[in-house]
Amino acid sequence: MFLRTFTNQPLWETYLSEFNAIEIRGEAPGVQLMLQVSSVLTVLSILLACYLSYRLIRNLRIGDARLPQSILLAVLTIILATIIVNKTLSPQYILWLGGPVAALYIHHESGWLRRHVNVLAVALVLVGALTQFTYPWGTYGIMGNPLGSGPETSVLLLRNLTLVVLTGYALYLTLRSSRRRGDTASV
């Protein structure tokens, strides 16, 4: 969608699939590269899940009291990573983020996490609103705007950028929460 904004060549076609999803197809330069990048990022997200699991298992063995919050943060990070590297981003995926954040309100054992949970919650409400604006309300605007340059496409890009930033933020919180006590190098 972003690249479509800068060309008037009919390199990409947007349409509604049989599942009512916005799909893009075309033979534009870079499509195969982007598909390969997505596949590599998917593998990296799996490795991230394995690494975070290792940190949690390590903390389980030493009986860390922060384990419930660390698990919830890791789940949130893994879900976010899965969403942003996936080749599809269905609107209902955003709902997956609510559970871990809601549970964090119950299981934040330390004061440092409270303000971060509030930031996560507000960010998720923002992401939900941006998602609602792009689908279903903005679907035809995204598909029909010449060059893909309408406000709907800008909101879609803002939502996706917010998800990427939120993933980095959640990863930081997960690493901070799951580090060994007294270990400042783990983050």
pLDDT tens, residue by residue, 140-177: 666 665 555 677 778 888 999 999 999 999 999 999 98
pLDDT at residue 113 greater than cutoff 90: no
Q: Does a structural domain hold residue 185?
A: no
Q: Does a structural domain hold residue 11?
A: yes
Q: Does a structural domain hold residue 184?
A: no
Letter string b/e over residues 6-32, b meaning 16 or more CB atoms within 10 A of that residue's CB: eeeeeebebeeeeeeebebeeebeeee
Provide the percentage of residues in the chain whose pLDDT is more than 90: 42
Domain containing residue 64: 3-178
Q: Does a structural domain hold residue 183?
A: no
Q: Does a structural domain hold residue 186?
A: no
Q: What average pLDDT is seen over the chain? A: 83
Model pTM score: 0.84
Q: Does a structural domain hold residue 76?
A: yes
Q: Does a structural domain hold residue 61?
A: yes
